[in-house]
Structure 1
Amino acid sequence: MLVLILFLLIWEMCSRFFEIPEWLLPAPSDIGQEGIEGWTEYHHHLFSTIELTLLGFCIGTAFGLVVAIALHLIPALRQAFYPILILSQNIPIIVLAPLLVIWFGFGWLPKIIVIVLVCFFPIAIAVMDGLRQTSQELMHYMKMAGAAKGQIFRKLEWPHALPSLFSGLKISATYSVMGAVISEWLGAKNGIGVYMTLASSSFRTDRVFVAIFLIMALSLLFFLIIHLIEKKTTSWQRKGVDKT
């Protein structure tokens, strides 16, 4: 926090001392003033982006979990589709987005697909790694006790994969906001991406920075929410480590 405050102070002083034009690089105070005074102009854009982000993030999370569990439980599927899963991330979203508009139009569907494509991969990879890192000693013990494959997954593999799951969720939460903004560039009527585009085209650099700070704030907020949920959900693991 101190480093951030120092950075903003240096930015403010440089903007004033060198008399940098506001359209080129506004001072933090000017950005903050625009953020407060312009609330009525961008608040509906903010709520639209939040709604789109949450919807895409939930669908992407569910899709990533299904993919990870299926590839983990069925080795044949993992051998067949894991390379395709990796290759799917080599396609730039900014290039794929116009194709989605051509295929699905300007509605919500192409925007949701963009966010899902951004979100599901970190979750799928993190969960798969977490499931593979289950203690082999405990696995062997449960098999000796006669546990079925489903029981091993529910009572051993899944609980021990939760920290990895939340690591993937944290990454996807920040990516989901970025994906929502990119998807709004496809032709949306509302959203932070639309607000940023309009501000950039009219050389309102202060509004562009307001949009940037809003995106950063949303990403941090989603990250903190998932972190709090993680602390509540995986508290039993921390207690086990402390006792050890």
Structure 2
Amino acid sequence: MKYSNQTRILVAVDSIVFGFDGSEYKLLLIQRGFAPEKEKWSLMGGFLQPEESLDEAAKRILKQLTGLQDIYLEELKSFSRPNRDPIERVIAVTYVALIDIKKYQQQINDDFHARWFPMKELPQLIFDHQEMVEIALNKLRYKAAFHPILFELLPDKFTLPQLQNMYEGLYNTKFDKRNFTRKVLSTNLLNKENDKDKLNSKKGAFYYSLDEKQYKDTLLSIQNFIPLTEING
């Protein structure tokens, strides 16, 4: 049985995959394999299947196109302009993924020519994908001010300078080192390790690791990780 006199509409799932390589933010894109816009650069996308939920489709598509799995993935927003796809009426539901580029570099599948692009050097994207990226970036900036989700972008061990560099890169600004360190350590999210990173300075910076239990608890709470003036900056 079906609802009568109703038009069937396709649902696409597109994932905006942000990565951090230790110095800058990048976006993972693929070359579209079919018309229209064949071989143009696109977000990780595919169509929802009848037996799937949106979350299941997002995970399946991301794994098929890139080989990536078990990563941070969160629903963002739907895009439903009638003419957004020139072929058929397609509603797109977007997801945001956050990964440590170095950690997953070997896992990426090359079959679909997935490639990392620096955020400041993005190619022209198909349809309304550029709008999707801009909305996702603004949402990430806002959410990262109150929740420690950016830690998904870091390796298992990292230094406080690396952490500060990651936050500064997202907001395109500079933070006072002393205030930033005090605020981050006050969250009790980090465990101090015994070894140091001595590649970037003679004195070296202690490594830290994430307290997984504290992290999961803190994701559900609200804290001010950065100055509120930077959210709308």
Structure 1 and Structure 2 fold alike (TM over 0.5): no
Bigger Rg, which one: 1
Question: RCO greater where, 1 or 2, for CA within 8 Å and sep 6 or more?
Answer: 1
Structure with greater proportional strand content: 2
TM-score (norm 2): 0.28
TM-score (norm 1): 0.27
